[in-house]
Structure 1
Amino acid sequence: MLSWFIETGQSGLDECRLMLVPARRSSDALASIGWSAEVPLPLLCALLRSWEDRFGARIVAVLGSELHVSVARPPVNAEHANLLALEHVLSTADNIVDDPPTPFPEYAMDLLGRTCWSFWWD
């Protein structure tokens, strides 16, 4: 995942710190640390828990109001990708809903085989 940050030119890496969070599941980590962004945290944690079970999704980085997730088993068919894309919209993340305004079918198909998901809230 670190190589993805470097390859995509993500900023803020120089300010990153390693943190071990006492949580049974990756999806519970945000609530455990009291993370705050413009998102309903219980909804986001529920979505993350579902993605963890279905796709092997794990939180790998939190940078301010950005969340980065590594995905072990990304969707491989259009039906799963469409459902997942709708769930990404439900996350209320600004990069999914507003920036950039990607047409829903295009966004859903882009999730096929994708092993890194990123979300941010302004």
Structure 2
Amino acid sequence: MTFSFLAEPRMMRRNFLAALIAGAAAILGGKAQKGRATTGQLGGDAQDSSSTELVEMRQKLRAALPYECVTVAGGDALSEWKRLHDLGQGWPVIIGDDEALDRIAEQYSLDDPAMLPPSAHPSASLPKTAAEIIAAADGVNVPAALRQFWQDEYGDDEEADAMPAEGSWPSSTSNAQPGFTIASDVLTGKAFPRVHILLIPTPHSYEVPAYLRWGNWNACPSPEIHVAALRYWHHRYGAELIGLNGDTINMRASRRPSTKAEALNLARDQFYYCADIVYQGTETLAPLAAGLMDSDWWFFWWD
């Protein structure tokens, strides 16, 4: 079983800034089509304006990330992560390449009215602080909240996929857990030439989504649910967040489930948390459960 979605890049809500600027440039060029614009539709001045505004916006968003950033070769990402972790000066999280860093920066400021044009968020309020998100996570009851989240996302959709079957236990788990993916190109498997690592001011990896305001788009849980779920799994399995980009989380567990029954329960909870790893990945629960017994790496991806 392969994760076919790894080869299918998609346009998502957190990429809307490029579309917003391109749309504005299209209007400047007098050639907008159904609210969308392509490079071929824009006049030279509009293209230059769009490109300049996009570069400036990306620089502004990166500058708004208040965390130290260390850049290394992709092949050195894990060794550098360990070095930074051992220094004890915050939790290092591997972000990925330049595009991944831009996505993280976009999401961090997505709901910040000070960072976006007024027309993008005419009535936006200030985003929650990390402390507020962590406090809210204290009231999230995991794993019950994960099942409720899945029901809220898919329960009222008549066309949504149903609860997946348990399926057959696989003879091989080589494709059930992709492993550490953040520092490499998912199409070629080659490490990125350069990878960014952010130092988050917390000793707890499960608090990283709060500091990055990560989540709450499409079928991805809110930051509060991420914090609660990751904390729950940290206490039970020693799971730590190692890498995170615009739509993917890589975790590493120090304790694996010891029985098939325990692994299936964990797989079910992970499905509630991130249905796409089954709906668009393993298809049934047993391959995911088997992978959790055979690998320390956990993989989550949201469409």
Question: TM-score normalised to the size of structure 2?
Answer: 0.36
Give the deviation of 1:109 after TM superposition. 2.1
* 1:14-66 C-alpha deviation (Å, 9 max, x unpaired): 45311111124111111111123531222222111111001111100112111
CA distance in 2, matches of 1:35, 1:24: 18
Instruction: Name the structure where strand makes up a greater proportion of residues.
Output: 1
Q: Quick check: 75-84 or 13-22, which moved more?
A: 13-22
Could you say what the CA RMSD is over the residues aligned between the two structures, in angstroms?
2.5
The answer to whether the 8 Å contact 2:274/2:301 transfers is no
The alignment-based identity, stated in percent, is 27
Larger Rg: 2
Unaligned 5+ segments in structure 2 are: 1-76, 80-179
What residue number does 2:295 align with?
A: 114
Q: Which runs of 5+ in 1 are unaligned?
A: none
Q: Distance in 1 between matches of 2:273 and 2:191?
A: 23
The amino acid that maps onto 1:98 is: Y
Question: Following TM superposition, by how much is the alpha carbon of 1:76 offset from its aligned partner in structure 2, in angstroms?
Answer: 1.7
8 Å CA contact 1:65, 1:120 repeated in 2:
yes
Aligned with 1:59 (options 224, 241, 263)? 241
Contact 1:76–1:113 at 8 Å: present in 2 too?
Answer: no
- Specify the SS of the correspondent of 2:199: coil
Q: C-alpha displacement at 1:2, in angstroms?
A: 3.7
Q: Match for 1:23: what amino acid?
A: T
Give aligned pairs, total. 120
Aligned residues of 2:209 and 2:226 also touching (Cα < 8 A): no
Corresponding residue of 2:212 = 33
| Cα distance between partner residues in 2 of 1:84 and 1:56 | 13
Does the aligned pair in 1 maintain the 2:282–2:288 contact within 8 Å? Answer: no
Letter of the structure 2 residue corresponding to residue 102 of structure 1: E
SS at 2:295 equivalent: coil
Q: Determine the structure 2 residue equivalent to 1:19.
A: 198
Instruction: Give yes or no for contact 2:249–2:301 (8 Å, CA) kept in 1.
Output: yes
Corresponding position: 1:102 with 2:283: yes
Deviates more, 1:13-22 or 1:83-92: 13-22
Q: 1:73 aligns with which of 231, 255, 259?
A: 255
* Displaced runs of 4 or more, over 6 A: none
Q: If the length of structure 1 is used for normalisation, what is the TM-score?
A: 0.81
